[in-house]
Amino acid sequence: MKGIVLAGGTGSRLFPLTKVTNKHLLPVGRYPMIYHPIFKLKNAGIREVLIVTGKEHMGDVVNLLGSGRDFEMEFTYRVQDQAGGIAQALGLAEQFVGRENCVVILGDNIFQDEIKRYVADFAVQGGGAKILIKEVPDPQRYGVAELKDGKIVSIEEKPQKPKSNYCVTGIYMYDCQVFNIIKTLRPSGRGELEITDVNNAYIAQNKLTYGILDGWWTDAGTFESLLKANELANGLDLKKAEKNNKFEEMAG
């Protein structure tokens, strides 16, 4: 199983903080934002991780993370040099993933739960896709899952009238067929390849399952959500989550 952290984008909603750095390097709690998804992947037993980021601050990302040795992991890097959307960024991982399955986390997703059990369930699933969803008070901000008879029957991006309160978080698991699906996509009205279209393609094949996060979850792409992420993360003791926590060492 390969891991992928998508850490691209211009971070325009966090300007001027992102004028000088990638938003995923901003602090969330005691650590840079990008440490959080890396930590979740490591705790799920994933050691090989591809990090996709933009060209503007690629050097800063590499200088922070290096080869992955300090994390007891192996990092590979790819540059997303166009604003092509989440699915386009994921498409850059095709060679890295090969014929394996992959776990994808958006770099600005900060959440409490460990994903090990979901990853294990997906491995047993034997293919297709699995996404994690979370009940939220403002689902119209996100992709919204419509549930029926224990299945997700559709996902609608930022609907004015949501069909449920369950948003699709930025935590996805795919088999290698995801790259064939991405190649069939057409850009949306905003000129991007949408990850919602990828998930709906798996729904059409009856190959998408889901899990529901129990703990707190937030993105950190706006000033309001970044503040919320910091408040939540400050109450999360990462040191207790792993006995040999390299993050604590690097934090000094």
What is the percent of the chain with per-residue pLDDT over 70, rounded to a whole number? Answer: 92
Residue 211 lies in a domain: yes
Range of the domain at 108: 2-236
Confidence band of 251 (pLDDT split at 50, 70, 90): very low
Residue 251 lies in a domain: no
Residue 83 lies in a domain: yes
How high is the pLDDT of residue 221? 83
How high is the pLDDT of residue 118? 98
Q: List pLDDT tens digits, range 195-229.
A: 999 999 999 999 999 999 999 999 988 899 889 99
Q: How many domains does the chain have?
A: 1
How high is the pLDDT of residue 245? 54
How high is the pLDDT of residue 162? 95
Residue 240 has pLDDT above 60, yes or no: no
Residue 245 lies in a domain: no
Paired sense of beta strands 2-7 and 102-106, if any: parallel
Instruction: Tell me the DSSP string of the chain.
Output: -EEEEEE-S--GGGTTGGGSS-GGGSEETTEETTHHHHHHHHHTT--EEEEEE-STTHHHHHHHHTTSGGGTSEEEEEE--S---HHHHHHTTHHHHTTS-EEEEETTEEESS--HHHHHHHHHHTSSEEEEEEE-S-GGGSEEEEEETTEEEEEEES-SS-SSSEEEEEEEEE-TTHHHHHHH----TTSS--HHHHHHHHHHTT-EEEEE--S-EEE-SSHHHHHHHHHHHTT--HHHH-TT-HHHHHT-
- Model's pTM, two decimal places? 0.91
How high is the pLDDT of residue 239? 47
Residue 248 lies in a domain: no
- CATH code of the domain covering residue 99: 3.90.550.10
Residue 115 lies in a domain: yes
Residue 241 lies in a domain: no
Residue 192 lies in a domain: yes
